[in-house]
Structure 1
Amino acid sequence: MHRLPSAEAEVAAELADVRPGLASRYAAELPGARAAVLTRLWRALAHEPLPWVARRERGREGLTLRLSDGRLLHGPHADPYATAAYVTAVRLDQASYDDPARLLTDLSVPHGAAFAAELGHSVASLALSRAGRGAHPKEWPARDWEWEWEQRVVDGHPFHPNCRSRPGFSVAEQLAYGPEHRPVVTLGLVPVRADECLVTGGWPEGMRDGERLLIPVHPWQAEHVLKRPCDPCGDGLAAHPLMSLRTLALPDGPHVKTALSARLTSSVRDISGYSISLSATLSDFAETLAARTDGLLHMTRTLGAATAGSPDLAAVLRESPREYAGPGERVVPVAALATTELPESPAWLAEFTRLALTVGLRLLESGVALEAHGQNLLVVLSADGSPVRLVYRDLADIRISPARLARHGIPMPELTGRIVTDDVPTLRRKLFGSLVAGALAGTAGSGTALRGALEAVVRELPATVDLAALRAEPLPTKALSLMRLSPGTAGDQWAELPNPLVTEVF
C-alpha cells in the first residue's frame, strides 16, 4: 500500500475532520498535483543557474543533468514555457521519482530540506484546491463578478513549484480564505489613533471612528500575527478574496490590500512603510503614464494607504479595475485567460500579444518598466472577446528610470529607493521577465504557441533598442527555485531562457 508523504497525509487527516466530503476527491487529485509541481521543478532544474548542476545534455530521449557529485538526473525535454503537467516522473541514477518533495530530499543539495518541505505543502494544497473547484467549463462566469474571474485561477503561479504552498495555513484556513474555494471573508477593522499612523491619499469616512482610523485586517493576520481579536470595532467588512489571497474585493467598493505576514510562493507578505509612503505619488504618476498610451492602458488609482507603524498592521485601498470596463466589456486578469477558450486561437493570441507588447515597450522606452505578470495585468475584452485595452494594478514593484524620463521630457516624481534605477538590464528584466516569460508565456501555454504569437507581431512594432534586445537575447525570468535554495541571498536572482524567436526552446 502506498504511504502518503507527510504533508499530503497531514492535509488528508485534517480534511477528514473539517470537510470529509472532499476527502475522496482530494485523494484523486494528488497524482495530478504531484505532476504539476514536478513539471515546475523540472523547469527550474533544466534552466536555472543551480550551482550543483555541472552540465546539461540534450539527447533524443530527453534531457540529462550531470550533477557536480557525479550523479545523473534524467527527464523529458523541458519546454520552459509549458503550463501543462507533462512531467510525471524523472530518474536520479536508477531510481524513479514522481514526487517532487522526495526528489529534492534525495538530491541532498544545500538548503534543499526546507524547500522540499515547501514542495510537499504545494502538492497537498494544490490537490486540495483542485478538489474544491468542481466542474470548471471554459465559458464566461454566469454573473461576471470580478472576483469570479480571479477565483478561477485554481493552480496558482504557472511556473513556480511553490504554486500553492501556504505554510502556516491549516486546511480549515485554506478553505476559509483561499480564493479558489470561493469564500466570503470578513475583514476586521482595527482602530488606531490617526496621529499614530502614516497615511497617504485619502482615507474614507466609512473607515474612521472619530479621531481613529479603522484599518482593515485579514482574520488570519489578526489571529496568527497580531494576536488580537479580528473584529474589535463594528461588524467588519465582508469581502471576496482575489488571486493574491491577501487582496479582497468589497462588493460595491474598492479592493483592499491587507497585510498578511505569511509566505505565499516566494515571499513573506506584508506592506512596508516604504510602499505606503510612495503610494500617493505613484498613483498620481500613473495617470501621466497612462496618458502616453493613447488610451491603450489604464492604471488603477490608489485611494488611500495607511500603516500603524508596522508592516504587520497596514492596508491599501485601491480602485477596482472594473471601473475601466465600458458597456458590454469585461475586465479579466491575464492569469485567468487560460480558463477560457480565447488563447486557443492563434489569431486572438497574436492580437493580445500585440497589445501587451505595444504598451509595455512604449512605457519602457519612456522610462517605466511594469511588473506585468498575470496577476497585475488585466485585459479589457469587448463583447465578442477581442482584447481592446489593458489595466494595470499595484505599482509597488515597477522600476522608473530618471534618465529615460528626462529624454522624453517627463518630470521625475519625488521617489527614492529600489523603485528608481537607470540600469538597463534591471529595467528589461522587470518587463520581459514578467510580461513575456510570465504573462504571455502563461497565456500561450507552450514555447511553440509563444513563438507563433511573437513572430506574428514583433516586425510591426516600433523599432527601439529594447525591442532589438527582445528579438535577439535570451529571455530573463526569475530563478524562483534558486531563490528558495539561497536563503542568504537578498533580492531577485535570474535565469536566462531560450528565446523562441531565436532558437528551439527545448
Structure 2
Amino acid sequence: MCDTPAERELAEELAGLRPELTSGYLAALPGARATVLARLWRGLVHEPLPWAAARARGSDGISIRLTDGRRLHGPPSDPWATGTAVADVELDGVPYRHPALLMAALHVPGGAPFAAELDHSVASLALSRTARPPAGPPTEPWEWEQQSPDGHPYHPTCRSRPGFSAAEQLAYAPEHRPVVGLRLAPVTGATVRGPWPPQWQDGDTVLLPVHPWQAEHVLGGRHVLPGPPAHPLLSLRTLALDHRLHVKTALSTRLTSQVRDISAYSVDHALATSELAARVADRLGGRLHITRTLAAAGAGTPDLAAVLRESPYVHAGTDEQVIPVAELSGHLASHSPHERLARITDFARLALGVCLDLLDLGVALEAHGQNLLAVVDREGRPRRLVYRDLADIRISPARLVRHGFPAPPMTGRLLDDDPAVLRRKVLGCLIAGALGPLAGSTAELGALLDATTRDLPPTPDLLALRTEELPVKALTLMRLSAEGDHWALLPNPVTTRQD
C-alpha cells in the first residue's frame, strides 16, 4: 500500500495519532501519486531541461529522448490543464507510477533531493485529502482560504512540507482548519519599521510573533511566550489574527519552491514598498486595493522576523466577499456553465486590465492565485481586486518617473527596468497562477485571453501578451537546480488559437 519512505512514515504516525484517518489516507495515495506525476510530467514535457535532448509527439503520447540515449514516454500533456492525473510514465519501457521513483531512476543532477520532495508531496497530498469537507459556505472570511486540499495546480511539489510530521500538518495546515497558537519571541534591539503593537512591547524588548513549528524546529532553545490564536491561510505561514489583522511569520523550510523565511531586506523595505504600491494603485480609480503593511520587525536573521498586514477582508462592502483567486473556481462551482464562464471572463478582463495598467505605471505585481483576491458581489460578479504580500514585486523607477511619480525610496532587488523581467513577473504569475487554472486548458485559456484583451489600451506589454510566447516559471527545473528562478516559454494560446 505504501511505496516510499514518506508514505510509510506518515502512515505509521497516523496509526498511532489518528487511526481513524489511516484508511482514508491509504485510499488517497494512488490518486495523490497520479496527481503529482501529472504535474511532474508537465515539467518534463514543457520545461528547458538540459538533459532532455529532443521531444516528439505521436498518436500514443509524447516521447522525450535524454542526452544519454534513454527514452521517456507518457501521455499527451496540456501545460494549462488542471485536475489531471497520469497513471504512469515509462523510462526505457519500464512503467513508473510514483513520481519520486521515476525521478530517482532518471539519475539527473539534483534528482535525489527532488525525489525526496516529490515523495513528501505525494504523502502530504494524500493526508490533505483526508480533511473533512466544509459543512457549508464559509461563515468567516478566512474559511475561503481553507477550502482546497490540493495546493498549487501545476507544481509537482504542491504539498511538500519537509520537516512537518503528520501531527504538525493536522495542527497547522489550512485545509485541516485548525486554530494555531502563535508564540512570541522576546527580542532586544530588534529592527522595527512602523508602529509595533503596544501589547507586543516591553520597554526595549519587542515580542515577535513566531509560528509554533519555527519555535520548535528552528529557534531551538530560544525562550518564547504563549501568543494569540490565529487561523492559517493559503500560505500556511501567514495567519489571520482577526478580521482586520494578518501576520506573516518566518518558516524556514521549503514549501513548493522557496524557503519561507523573511529577509532583513524585506523588513527594512516593507513599509516603503507598501506606501509606494498603494500610491500607484490609487491611479487605477478604485479597481485595486493594496493591503497595507502596518509594521515589520526582525532580529537581524531571516528565521526570526514578522510582518503585520491589513487583512484583505476589510475591503469587502455590504453583501460582498473577498475570495483568493485560487479558490474562485470552487466558489463558482454552483453556478451554471454559462454563468461560470461569464464570471471568469469578467474577472479576467478586470485582472488583466488592472495588472497591465499598473505595470505601465511601473509596478509589476506577483498576481498569482494566492496573492490576488477578488471582491465579489452576492451573484459572484467580480467588482474590484485586492493584492497582498509585496515582498517579491518588481518596481520600475524609469516607468514611475515617466508617469510623474518620484523615484522609489529604496534600492536593491525590488528595482528593475528590464521590460522582459517586469513582464515575466506579471504575466508569469497572473496567467500561470490565476487565469490558467480558471480556464483549465490551452483552448479555453486562448479564448479567454483573446476575448478579454481586445479592447485594452495598446501598450507594448499588451502586444507581448497577445503575440509572444508566454513566460512561466520552470517549476521542475527550479527544484532540480535549486538556484533561483528559471523560466519556460510556452506557445501563446492566443496566437495558437488564431492559426
Shift of 1:291: 0.7
* Aligned counterpart, 2:31: 32
The answer to whether the aligner puts 1:325 opposite 2:320 as a matched pair is no
Give the AA of the match of 2:121.
S
* Aligned counterpart, 2:114: 115
* Aligned counterpart, 1:503: 496
* Aligned counterpart, 2:400: 405
RMSD: 1.6
Contact map agreement 1:219 1:230 (CA 8 A) in 2: no
Structure 1 counterpart SS, 2:156: coil
Structure 1 counterpart SS, 2:409: coil
Structure 2 counterpart SS, 1:502: helix
Consecutive unaligned residues of structure 1, counting only runs of 5 or more, are none
Give the AA of the match of 1:496.
L
* Aligned counterpart, 1:226: 219
Contact map agreement 2:83 2:153 (CA 8 A) in 1: no
The answer to whether the aligner puts 1:135 opposite 2:133 as a matched pair is yes
What are the equivalent positions in structure 2 for 1:83-162 lying under 5 Å apart?
A: 83-132=82-131, 134-135=132-133, 140-141=137-138, 143=139, 145-162=140-157
Q: TM-score, normalised by structure 1?
A: 0.95
Structure 2 counterpart SS, 1:124: helix
Give the AA of the match of 1:332.
I
Shift of 1:66: 1.1
Shift of 1:231: 4.0
Q: Name the CA shift for 1:136/1:38 in 2 (closer, same or farther; >3 Å).
A: farther
Q: Tell me the distance in 1 between the aligned counterparts of 2:185 and 2:453.
A: 50
Contact map agreement 1:187 1:218 (CA 8 A) in 2: yes
* Aligned counterpart, 1:305: 296
The answer to whether the aligner puts 1:444 opposite 2:435 as a matched pair is no
The answer to whether the aligner puts 1:4 opposite 2:3 as a matched pair is yes
Q: Tell me the distance in 1 between the aligned counterparts of 2:243 and 2:462.
A: 41
Shift of 1:400: 0.7
Q: Tell me the distance in 2 between the aligned counterparts of 1:40 and 1:341.
A: 24
Contact map agreement 1:112 1:485 (CA 8 A) in 2: yes
Q: Tell me the distance in 2 between the aligned counterparts of 1:462 and 1:504.
A: 22
- Structure 1 range deviating more: 281-290 or 166-175: 281-290
The answer to whether the aligner puts 1:168 opposite 2:167 as a matched pair is no
Shift of 1:250: 0.7
Q: Tell me the distance in 2 between the aligned counterparts of 1:203 and 1:399.
A: 26
1:355 paired residue among 330, 334, 350: 350
- Structure 1 range deviating more: 358-367 or 280-289: 280-289
Give the AA of the match of 1:453.
L
Q: Tell me the distance in 2 between the aligned counterparts of 1:208 and 1:120.
A: 43
Q: Tell me the distance in 2 between the aligned counterparts of 1:162 and 1:494.
A: 17
Contact map agreement 2:243 2:313 (CA 8 A) in 1: no
Contact map agreement 1:437 1:475 (CA 8 A) in 2: no
Structure 2 counterpart SS, 1:362: helix
Shift of 1:410: 1.5
Contact map agreement 2:53 2:64 (CA 8 A) in 1: yes
Q: Tell me the distance in 2 between the aligned counterparts of 1:149 and 1:38.
A: 27
* Aligned counterpart, 2:69: 70
Shift of 1:504: 6.0
* Aligned counterpart, 1:210: 203
Q: Tell me the distance in 1 between the aligned counterparts of 2:26 and 2:443.
A: 33
Please give the per-residue CA displacement for 1:112-150, whole angstroms capped at 9, x wherever unaligned. Answer: 111011100000000000012x2358x732x1x122111
Contact map agreement 1:153 1:243 (CA 8 A) in 2: no
* Aligned counterpart, 2:280: 289
| Identity among equivalent pairs (%) | 60
- Structure 1 range deviating more: 166-175 or 87-96: 87-96
* Aligned counterpart, 2:467: 472
Structure 2 counterpart SS, 1:374: coil
- Structure 1 range deviating more: 198-207 or 46-55: 198-207
